[in-house]
Amino acid sequence: MRTSLALLIVAACAAPALGQGTAPLGSVTDGDCRYDFVNFGDLFDPPTPLVAGFSTYKAWYSDFSSGDNLRQQWFYFRLDATSAEQALPHPDTASYSSEPGLIELGWLPGPGRPFAAHLQCELRDTGFNKAVFVQRLTLSNPTADALHVELFHYAAIEVNQFFGGFFDTAVLVGPNRIRIDDHGTLEFDEYAALGASGWKVQAFNNLLQFDLLNSTPSTFNDVGLPFGPGFFTGGFQWHLDLPPGDSESVFVSIAVGDEAGFELHEFNWTDLGQGKPGATGTPALDGSGPLSALSSNLVELSGGLPSSPATLVFGLQQLDAPFKGGVLVPGPLVLLPLPTDASGKLSLPFTMPAGVPPGTSFYFQAWVSDPAASVGLSASNGLQGVTP
């Protein structure tokens, strides 16, 4: 979450034929990295799942190449043991923003797809010619019946395509973690998933065309590695059981020249508003970091009165109570005196302790002594963090 983040949200429209959404394609950047959704297969006429999620993913974009590392990646699903897989269709809603590179796509339940879906993607520049693209797909069951979903992710990866071409090799380097090397060079990518029940690797385009897009159900049972040299395609599979009203998330990471991590630094923070202006406007409180166990995180205030006493309020409940002419967002558990510096900023770095349950919420808000504000205090927006 960034206070400067401007998200283009496209509302869901009436579904056209085949139940496809109408949200736009887009691209995002972070540093000199770029990720593009070049085409969803349903934008072709007639629609074709062969290019669903067609993408380019570049750890640097100052050269003239196209698709340096990723040619295609997407999610597929089936609802029973006998049906063929189908691609997750064109989304109903989409938002794209850069620096950092954030993508959110949403699907309403539709024909043959009783679940709702929400995909959050984060592109991070992790160094010279390095990048990590992390995806969290959450499926939700709005029905009164339990749902079973066989979920698949597919990726066609060409490491350093502009220089090395199609000749890649691949090996398993950890549980559900595949390293793809550019044959004859030192360049590599990693492709990894959390909690997957199996993986499968084949040369292009057999895995997509003869497994995920044929007329029979597929099962990924850990075959195909070591691979190459050749054009790598691979995929992961999850068995998801969703009780009524429940949801479950899966994570996929594709890294260029780096380890494939699963930390989402931005999507676990939410601006709750309720700021109160002072002499320099309304102070802005921002959070960054993945909030995973033992991770480094930061809460940072900007726009406060310079060199002024301030208090950072922390709590485990959202209170939203009237206070000093404004709204106190956290139920106060800890009060931290942290004066602003000469530029009106303050920061609190912290390490997330181990053992905090997933989905735990906590809340911050800063109050700043400011004679120009009502009752002599300005206040930042409330800030919510949620552990992954």
Note whether 346 and 231 are same-domain residues: no
User: pLDDT tens-digit profile of 334-363?
Assistant: 999 999 999 999 999 999 999 998 788 999
Residue 18, pLDDT score? 39
Note whether 225 and 330 are same-domain residues: no
Q: Which residue has the tokens 């485990």?
A: 316
- For all residues of the chain together, what is the average pLDDT? 87
Note whether 239 and 275 are same-domain residues: no
Note whether 65 and 126 are same-domain residues: yes
CB burial class (10 A; 0-12, 13-18, 19+) of residue 345? middle
Note whether 64 and 125 are same-domain residues: yes
Note whether 98 and 196 are same-domain residues: yes
Out of 221, 256, 291, a domain closes at: 256
Asked whether residue 359 is domain-assigned, the answer is: yes
Asked whether residue 37 is domain-assigned, the answer is: yes
Distances from the Cα of 349 to the Cα of 173, 256, 300, 324, angstroms: 33, 28, 8, 27
Nearest residue to 28 via CA among 37, 20, 19: 37
The Cα–Cα gap between 263 and 85 comes to 29
Domain span at 342: 269-386
Out of 202, 233, 256, a domain closes at: 256
User: pLDDT tens-digit profile of 290-337?
Assistant: 888 888 889 999 999 999 999 999 999 999 999 999 999 999 999 999
Note whether 358 and 235 are same-domain residues: no
The Cα–Cα gap between 322 and 328 comes to 6
Q: Are 379 and 275 in contact (CB under 8 A)?
A: yes
Q: Are 276 and 269 in contact (CB under 8 A)?
A: no
Q: Identify the band that residue 165 occupies on the pLDDT scale cut at 50, 70 and 90.
A: low
Give the count of domains, the chain: 2
What residues does 108 pair with on adjacent strands?
A: none
The structure's pTM equals 0.77
The CATH number linked to 55 is 2.70.98.40
**Given a cut of 50, is residue 64 above it in pLDDT?**
no
